[in-house]
Chain A
Amino acid sequence: MKKLIALLLALTMVFSLGAVAFADGEDITLDVIICQYGPNTEDWFLGSGMDGTNFVDKFEEANPGIKLNLEVVSWDTVDQVVDTRISSGQAPDILNNDNFSNYAYDELLEPVSQFCPDDLYEDFFPSFIAESVIDDTVWAVPDLASARALYYNVDMFEEMGIEPPTTWAELEDVCQTILDFYDGEVYPWGIDMTSDEGQAAFAYYTWGNGGGFTDDEGNWIVNCDENVEAIEFAISLVNNGYTNPNPATQTRYDLQDMFAAGDMAMLIAPNQLPTYCADKESTVNMATANIPANEGKESASVGVMDRVMAFKDESLSEEETAARDEAIGKFLKFFYDPENYVGWVSMEGFLPAVNSAVGALVEADPSFGAWLDVLDGCRFYPTAMENYDTVREGVVKAEQAALTGADVREELDAVQAQVAPEA
C-alpha cells in the first residue's frame, strides 16, 4: 500500500512538472520590476487603480500569449532586490529604475534598438534619450520625469512685502527678513543633505555657480573652485540658522511636511509638491520661481528621470530571444499608449517622457505646459557615467562632513581623487 502511495505521489510530481513546462512552451512570461512611486503605484499595476482593473490584467487581455510576472518594489530595496537576482542568475526581463549605467557597463542590458518599436522610439523626447547613451548605444528609455524649482509660500511673502530671491545674496537677505519677521518661528529655507537627496543639493548649488559634476568634455570636476564655493555657501545657510536644523537626517519629505504645515517659507522641490501638499490636506498658497544662482551665474533647473531597461537572457536561443524582445516591445507599446500612460503619469503628478502624452496632459491640467518648458531646459545628473555612484555618495558624504565642520575643499578633493586619480 505504501509503495502504491509513493508511486502515485511520484507520478503526480512528474505530471505537474510536465504541465508547467507545457505552459511555458506556449506563453512568454516576462519578469517585470516596477519601483513604487507612491501609494497608488501597486494599485494601478496590480490592484484596481486603473478604472476598476489593473495594468497587468489589461495587458494580458490585450496580448494573449504574454504573461506578466510583475512586482512593485520600494525604492529603498530595489537595488538590493535586483543585484541579488543578478548574482543568482535571475535578472528580471524588464526593470524600472533610475540608474542603468552599472548594468550597461557589466554588459547585462540589451540595447534599446533590439526591443523598442521604431514608432515608440521616435515618440520619446530626444533630450531624455540622450541621457541614456553609453558608447553611442541607447541602453534604456525614460518612463517619466520630474523637474525641480523653488517653491515659496505666497501668503508669507505678501505679508512681508518681499519678492522671491533670484541670487544668493538676495536669498540671504530674504532668509534674514523671514527670520526677523516671524521671530524664528518659520524656517526660511529648506535643505536636504541626506543620502536620499544630498546629490540634488549638490546640483542645486554647484550648477547655480557655474560648476557641477562634470565639465563640457564629460570629465569629473567634483573639486573645482565653483563647487567648493557653492557647498560652502550652502553650509553657511545652515550655520546662519536659515534652514531646517538637521539637514543630514531630515529628508525632503520632512521638508515638504514643514512647507505644507506653513512652518517653512521656501524650498527647492519637484513639481509633484502641490499633489503632495493636497494629499496632506494642506491649504498652503504656493508659487514657483527659478532656483537662485550666484551673482552673474545662470539659474539651472534640475531634472530627474527614471528609466525602463531590459536585461539580456543568455539562456535563450536566438529564436526565443527574438520572441522575448517582441513581447518586451509590446509591453512598452502598451505602457506608453496615451490611454494608459496619461493616467499613470498624472496619478503621481509626474511629467511625461513621450510627445504623444503631452496634449492630453496639458488639456487635463494647463500647469503642465509651464513645467514642460522648465523640463526642456533642465540639466540631469550624469547617471550614464561610470563611477556616478561613487561621486553621488562622495558628494553627499562631503556635504554631511562639512555640516560637522570639515573643510569642503578637502572633502571634495577626496571624492575627485577616487574617480579621477590622475587629475
Chain B
Amino acid sequence: MNKTLQNKIKPYIWLLPSIILMALFVIFPIMIVFRLAFSEVSKSGLMGGFVGLQNFKDAIGLPAFKTVMLNTLYWVISVVGLSTVLGFIIAMVLNQKFHGRKIARAILVFPWATSLVVQASVWNYIIKYEYGNLNNILLNLGIIKEAINWRSSYQIEFLWECGVGIFVTIPFVAFCVLSGLQSIDGTLYEAADIDGASYWDKLWRITVPLVKPSLTVSTVLNIIYVFNSFPIIYTMTRGAPANKTDTLVTYLYMLNFYDRQKGPATALSVIGFLVLCICAGVYMVGVMRKEEEL
C-alpha cells in the first residue's frame, strides 16, 4: 500500500472506534425509536405492524399535548435564557481579582457537580410547607409569623422548578464564559481605555464579541440538556397536577411507563428529537454564517 493511501486511510482508522460506539449507542437506538414510532406497540412493549402516522396523530390528539409543549417552551426559554444572563454576570464577577476568588469559583461548581435528583430533593425539603427549611428560617428570624405554603398553585410549583433548573445550570454557563474571558488579551482593554471607552463600550464592543463563541457552545448544549432534563420535574412534581407542570420528557416517560401508551410516547420522543435537531441546526447555521462573515 503506498504511503499516500495509508495517510488517507489512517484518520478513519483512528476514528473507527468512536464511529462504532456512536453507531451502537446513539444511532442504533435512534433507529429503533423511529421504527417504534411508526409501529403498533403493545402495553408490554411488544412491537407490532406498521401503522404509518397513527402514533403521531394519537400523540398530538392527547388532551395534555398543548399544555406540555407550551410548558417545554417556557422551561427551555426561562432556564437557558436566565441562566445564560446570570452565568455571564457571575463569570464577569469571578474574572475580577478579589480575595477568596478561588473559593468562590470552587463553590460555584457545587450545584453543577451534585446530582440533579439530589438537588431537586433538597429543594423539595427547603420549600416544604410543614417542615421546610425556608419556613423554619423565616419563622426563627421573625420575618413571617406563620408558615407559608410555597407550593400553593401549580404555576408557582412550575416557577420553583424553573428556579432550580436555573440554579443548577448557571455554573456551566459561568465556567464557559469564564474560560472565554480569560482568553481575552488585556491589551485590548488598555487600548480602549486610552481611546476613552466607557465600561459599557468595553463590554459590548470587546467582551461580548470575544466571549460569543463560548456563549454559543454553552447555549446550544444547554438547549439540548435543558430540553431533555428529566430529574428536576420528575422529583419535584411528577408533572402534577394533571400534567400542568410536565415537560415533554417527563410526560412521555409517564405516558410510556405509567399510562402504557407506548406508541404515542415513542412518537413524542421522535417529535422532541426533531424539535431539538431543528433548534440546534438553525442556531448553528446562523452562528457559522456570522463567523464566515467576520
Q: Contacts of A401 on B, CB cut-off 8 Å?
A: 241-242
Q: Is the interface of A mostly helix, strand, loop or mixed?
A: helix
Q: A87 with B243: in contact, given A194-B238, A245-B129, A249-B237 (CB under 8 Å)? A: no
Q: Contacts of A84 on B, CB cut-off 8 Å?
A: 45
The residues in B between 90 and 135 inclusive whose CB is less than 8 angstroms from any CB of A are 129-130
Stretch of B8-16, B191-199, B212-220, B257-265 that contacts chain A: B257-265
- Is residue B152 contacting chain A, with contact meaning CB distance below 8 A? yes
- Is residue A61 contacting chain B, with contact meaning CB distance below 8 A? no
**Interface contact A245-B149, CB-CB below 8 Å:** yes
**Interface contact A406-B242, CB-CB below 8 Å:** yes
Which residue of the partner chain, among B152, B154, B238, contacts A195 with CB atoms under 8 Å? B238
Q: Contacts of A105 on B, CB cut-off 8 Å?
A: 42-43
- Which residue of chain B lies nearest to A393 when distances are taken between CB atoms in the complex? B259
- Is residue A102 contacting chain B, with contact meaning CB distance below 8 A? yes
CA distance A397 to B259 in the complex (A): 11
**Interface contact B237-A86, CB-CB below 8 Å:** no
- Is residue A337 contacting chain B, with contact meaning CB distance below 8 A? no
| Chain B interface extent, by class | 20 to 34
The residues in B between 180 and 218 inclusive whose CB is less than 8 angstroms from any CB of A are none
- Is residue A203 contacting chain B, with contact meaning CB distance below 8 A? no
CA distance A400 to B258 in the complex (A): 16
Q: Is the interface of B mostly helix, strand, loop or mixed?
A: loop
CB of A404 to closest CB in B, whole Å: 5
CB of A189 to closest CB in B, whole Å: 15
Q: Contacts of B43 on A, CB cut-off 8 Å?
A: 102, 105-106, 389
The residues in A between 172 and 204 inclusive whose CB is less than 8 angstroms from any CB of B are 193-195
CB of A395 to closest CB in B, whole Å: 11
Q: A103 with B44: in contact, given A195-B238, A263-B130 (CB under 8 Å)? A: yes
User: How many residue pairs between the two chains, A and B, have CB atoms under 8 Å in the bound complex?
Assistant: 82
Q: Contacts of A245 on B, CB cut-off 8 Å?
A: 129, 149, 151-152
- Which residue of chain B lies nearest to A258 when distances are taken between CB atoms in the complex? B130
**Interface contact B259-A86, CB-CB below 8 Å:** no
The residues in B between 31 and 53 inclusive whose CB is less than 8 angstroms from any CB of A are 42-47
**Interface contact A248-B258, CB-CB below 8 Å:** no
CB of B83 to closest CB in A, whole Å: 25
- Which residue of chain A lies nearest to B237 when distances are taken between CB atoms in the complex? A249
The residues in B between 233 and 248 inclusive whose CB is less than 8 angstroms from any CB of A are 236-238, 240-244
CA distance A6 to B99 in the complex (A): 60
Q: Contacts of A195 on B, CB cut-off 8 Å?
A: 238, 240, 254, 258
**Interface contact A80-B149, CB-CB below 8 Å:** no
**Interface contact A106-B254, CB-CB below 8 Å:** no
- Is residue A83 contacting chain B, with contact meaning CB distance below 8 A? yes
The residues in A between 389 and 423 inclusive whose CB is less than 8 angstroms from any CB of B are 389-390, 393, 397-398, 400-401, 403-404, 406, 414
The residues in B between 43 and 95 inclusive whose CB is less than 8 angstroms from any CB of A are 43-47, 63
Which residue of the partner chain, among B46, B241, B257, B259, contacts A404 with CB atoms under 8 Å? B241
**Interface contact B242-A404, CB-CB below 8 Å:** yes
Q: Contacts of A398 on B, CB cut-off 8 Å?
A: 242
**Interface contact B259-A249, CB-CB below 8 Å:** no
- Which residue of chain A lies nearest to B42 when distances are taken between CB atoms in the complex? A106
CA distance A96 to B42 in the complex (A): 21
**Interface contact B44-A249, CB-CB below 8 Å:** no
Which residue of the partner chain, among B45, B241, B258, contacts A86 with CB atoms under 8 Å? B45
Q: Contacts of A194 on B, CB cut-off 8 Å?
A: 238, 240
Which residue of the partner chain, among A106, A248, A414, contacts B241 with CB atoms under 8 Å? A248
- Which residue of chain B lies nearest to A77 when distances are taken between CB atoms in the complex? B257
Chain A 94-109 interface mask (CB, 8 Å, partner B; 1/0): 0000000011011010
- Is residue A339 contacting chain B, with contact meaning CB distance below 8 A? no
Q: Contacts of B47 on A, CB cut-off 8 Å?
A: 87
Q: Contacts of B42 on A, CB cut-off 8 Å?
A: 102, 105-106
Which residue of the partner chain, among B238, B257, B258, contacts A249 with CB atoms under 8 Å? B238
**Interface contact A87-B129, CB-CB below 8 Å:** no
- Which residue of chain A lies nearest to B155 when distances are taken between CB atoms in the complex? A404
**Interface contact A249-B242, CB-CB below 8 Å:** no
**Interface contact A389-B258, CB-CB below 8 Å:** yes
CA distance A50 to B43 in the complex (A): 36
The residues in B between 150 and 184 inclusive whose CB is less than 8 angstroms from any CB of A are 151-154, 157
The residues in A between 355 and 399 inclusive whose CB is less than 8 angstroms from any CB of B are 389-390, 393, 397-398
CB of A409 to closest CB in B, whole Å: 15
Which residue of the partner chain, among A79, A193, A246, A400, contacts B257 with CB atoms under 8 Å? A79
**Interface contact A414-B154, CB-CB below 8 Å:** no
- Which residue of chain A lies nearest to B154 when distances are taken between CB atoms in the complex? A404
Q: Contacts of A263 on B, CB cut-off 8 Å?
A: 130
Interface-centre pick from A108, A249, A393 (highest chain B CB count, 10 A): A249
CB of A171 to closest CB in B, whole Å: 22
- Which residue of chain B lies nearest to A389 when distances are taken between CB atoms in the complex? B260
- Which residue of chain A lies nearest to B254 when distances are taken between CB atoms in the complex? A195
Instruction: Beyond A248-B237, A393-B258, A404-B241, list 19 extra A-B contacts (CB 8 Å).
Output: A80-B257, A83-B257, A102-B43, A102-B260, A105-B42, A194-B240, A195-B238, A195-B254, A245-B149, A246-B149, A248-B154, A249-B157, A389-B43, A389-B258, A389-B260, A390-B260, A393-B254, A393-B259, A397-B242
- Chain B positions within 8 Å of A, measured between CB atoms, are 42-47, 63, 129-130, 149, 151-154, 157, 236-238, 240-244, 254, 257-262
- Chain A positions within 8 Å of B, measured between CB atoms, are 79-80, 83-84, 86-87, 102-103, 105-106, 108, 193-195, 245-246, 248-249, 258, 263, 389-390, 393, 397-398, 400-401, 403-404, 406, 414
Q: List 30 A-B contacts (CB under 8 A).
A: A79-B258, A83-B45, A83-B257, A83-B262, A86-B44, A102-B42, A105-B42, A105-B43, A108-B44, A108-B46, A193-B241, A195-B238, A195-B254, A245-B129, A245-B149, A246-B151, A248-B240, A249-B151, A249-B237, A249-B238, A249-B241, A263-B130, A389-B43, A389-B258, A389-B260, A400-B240, A401-B242, A404-B153, A404-B244, A406-B242
